């Protein structure tokens, strides 16, 4: 069965290091909480708000051993007035036997405000 795992985080500055570090932390937390291995991942879609453009967030995945063959896609988040700035989001599509209610979505930093009901 295929499930989507959502997550988001924020950074304070539009800098490559900050974006890669925040994305790495978000991915590690998502992987750990959902016991994901690269062979279970169909793809990962990343979005960033328009105020972030220093690096592709998918670059963080390339630092993980064994994840080189996971398909990755980066795009811009829709620019909605009043939306959370400096935000990085992920949608990880995985093969799993977990029930939808057992999937652990991960929201970190200021992104907790996006889904306080799902934030851990």
The answer to whether residue 89 is catalytic is yes
Q: Which residue of the set 3, 87, 89, 109 is catalytic?
A: 89
The answer to whether residue 32 is catalytic is no
The answer to whether residue 15 is catalytic is no
Q: Which residue of the set 3, 87, 107, 109 is catalytic?
A: 107
**Range list of β-strands (E), the chain:** 2-10, 41-48, 72-76, 87-95, 106-107
Q: Which residue of the set 6, 21, 29, 59 is catalytic?
A: 6
Q: Which residue of the set 3, 77, 87, 109 is catalytic?
A: 77
The answer to whether residue 87 is catalytic is no
The answer to whether residue 62 is catalytic is yes
CB 8 within 8 A of CB 88: yes
3 annotated among ligand-binding-site residues: no
Please, is 7 exposed, middle or buried when counting C-beta atoms within 10 Å of its C-beta (0-12, 13-18, 19+)? buried
- Just list the catalytic residues: 6, 62, 74, 77, 89, 107, 115
């Amino acid at each position: 069965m295929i499930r989507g795992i959502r997550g988001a985080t924020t950074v304070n500055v539009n800098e490559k290091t900050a974006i890669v570090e925040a994305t790495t932390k978000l991915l590690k937390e998502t992987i750990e909480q959902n016991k994901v291995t690269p062979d279970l991942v169909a793809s990962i879609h990343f979005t960033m708000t328009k105020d972030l453009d220093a690096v592709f967030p998918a670059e963080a995945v390339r630092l993980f051993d064994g994840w080189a063959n996971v398909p990755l896609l980066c795009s811009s988040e829709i620019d909605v007035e009043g939306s959370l700035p400096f935000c990085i989001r992920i949608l990880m599509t995985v093969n799993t036997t977990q029930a939808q209610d057992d999937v652990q979505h991960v929201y970190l930093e200021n992104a907790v405000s996006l889904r306080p009901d799902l934030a851990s």
